[in-house]
């Protein structure tokens, strides 16, 4: 586990938007810097209160993220688990705002927040700022005017995430790298359906745009048969793809899903329709959930993109530590995605299991 700590911490002082170059699970070579990286001196590990709210516990990816965040804070950094409160926002911003108000009443020392609606960041930031509590936003990126405001006004708020343009581009590249570049029927264009996450979320917007852009940038003609929101949800993904296959049948060459949960639903619909992945249809997701990566190994998924929850969780915790130490934090901190295809799926599986 210790190795995973390191790469997250290499990002700390590299400018306004920090890109963490090496993914934590691949960071074996960085071990030597570990001492300097995890500097907890002066932090009251026993008594520090940390308030965490996750937009929805039912989300598969955020469950992995939340588990790693709590594990890292308690096991690797040594915070007292009794003082770490993790709330379920239940996909309801009003409910989550109440939780944040309670954290303020309880005088937590720092918050780590996965907002239900990133558009509520200005209001939440002001609440926390007035109470003198620093906040680390994760996973759902507030818009740039908001993070610019934190920097300009010296507000103790920061975002830790991954640039979803990169994940979208990787999805498109995975299709380009197939034997026929996604044009299974050879009609000179790639006909696809797009299953989108919650469109309020920048990850959904960017993955939708950049996956297709990778194809068009390569000079490939595309045809969008359907774009529909599946809200990151497996059952919705299954229903959307089932209906799309009924309506468009053999015309569907590629199924893009903004995340793996929806892609796993899509796979159920694809198999029920008697279609064969990588032969008469391609399927790509994002996150690298274990089931998705296993499906790549088994030939039932074309590809996914590793959304590095280890690095993101650890970086978020490290930013919280910096605030506790009174240090400055960059407003935006980004972790790299990793492309996952049949070429490296077995190796990735070992690392995420």
8 A C-beta contact, residue 128 and residue 66? no
| Number of chain positions touching ligand BGC (CB under 6 A) | 14
Q: Output the smallest distance, CB 65 to ligand BGC, in A.
A: 8
Contact between 287 and ligand BGC per CB under 6 A? yes
Q: Tokens for 86?
A: 């993790």
Of 53-61, 266-274, 275-283, 319-327, the window that binds ligand BGC (rule: CB under 6 A) is 53-61
The dihedral sign for the CA sequence 17, 28, 301, 230: negative
Task: Give phi and psi for 333, each to the nearest 5.
Answer: -135, 115
* Three-state secondary structure call for residue 186: coil
Nearer to ligand BGC, 69 or 324 (CB): 69
Nearer to ligand BGC, 22 or 171 (CB): 171
Nearer to ligand BGC, 111 or 263 (CB): 263
Residues of this chain, 198-217, that bind ligand BGC according to CB under 6 A: 201, 203
Contact between 307 and ligand BGC per CB under 6 A? yes
Q: Which of 11, 12, 59, 313 is close enough to bind ligand BGC by CB under 6 A?
A: 59
E strand residue ranges, the chain: 17-20, 50-54, 84-88, 110-113, 135-138, 157-162, 189-196, 221-229, 254-257, 282-284, 304-306, 332-335, 338-340
Sequence-separated (6 or more) residues with CB below 8 Å from residue 177: 341
Sequence-separated (6 or more) residues with CB below 8 Å from residue 28: 3
Nearer to ligand BGC, 147 or 312 (CB): 312
Q: Which of 26, 61, 103, 310 is close enough to bind ligand BGC by CB under 6 A?
A: 61
Contact between 232 and ligand BGC per CB under 6 A? yes
Residues in contact with ligand BGC by CB under 6 A are: 55, 59, 61-62, 139-140, 201, 203, 232, 259, 261, 286-287, 307
């Amino acid at each position: 586990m210790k190795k995973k700590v390191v790469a997250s911490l290499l990002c700390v002082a590299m400018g306004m938007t920090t890109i963490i170059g090496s993914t934590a699970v691949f960071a074996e070579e960085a071990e030597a810097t570990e001492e300097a990286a995890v500097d907890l001196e002066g932090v009251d590990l026993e008594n520090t209160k940390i308030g965490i709210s996750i937009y929805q516990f039912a989300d598969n990816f955020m469950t992995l993220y939340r588990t790693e965040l709590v594990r890292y804070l308690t096991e690797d950094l040594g915070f007292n688990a009794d003082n770490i409160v993790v709330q379920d926002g239940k996909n309801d911003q009003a409910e989550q705002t109440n939780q944040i108000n309670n954290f303020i009443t309880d005088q937590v020392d720092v918050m780590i927040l996965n907002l239900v609606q990133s558009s509520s960041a200005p209001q939440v930031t002001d609440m926390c700022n007035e109470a003198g509590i620093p906040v680390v936003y994760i996973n759902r990126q507030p818009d740039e005017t908001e993070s610019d405001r934190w920097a300009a006004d010296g507000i103790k708020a920061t975002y830790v995430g991954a640039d979803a343009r990169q994940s979208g581009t990787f999805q498109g590249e995975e299709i380009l790298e197939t034997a026929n570049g996604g044009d299974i029927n050879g009609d000179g264009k790639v006909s696809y359906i797009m299953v989108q996450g919650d469109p309020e979320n920048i990850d959904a917007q960017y993955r939708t745009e950049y996956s297709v852009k990778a194809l068009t940038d390569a000079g490939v003609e595309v045809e969008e048969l359907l774009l529909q929101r599946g809200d990151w949800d497996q059952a919705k993904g299954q229903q959307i793809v089932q209906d799309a296959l009924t309506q468009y049948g053999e015309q569907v060459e590629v199924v893009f899903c903004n995340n793996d949960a929806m892609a796993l639903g899509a796979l159920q619909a694809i198999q029920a329709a008697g279609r064969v992945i990588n032969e008469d249809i391609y399927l790509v997701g994002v996150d690298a959930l274990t089931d998705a990566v296993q499906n790549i190994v088994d030939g039932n998924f074309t590809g996914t993109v590793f959304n590095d929850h280890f690095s993101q969780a650890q970086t978020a915790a490290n930013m919280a530590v910096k605030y506790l130490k009174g240090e400055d934090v960059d407003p935006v901190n980004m972790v790299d995605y990793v492309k996952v295809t049949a070429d490296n799926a077995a190796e990735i599986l070992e690392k995420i299991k």
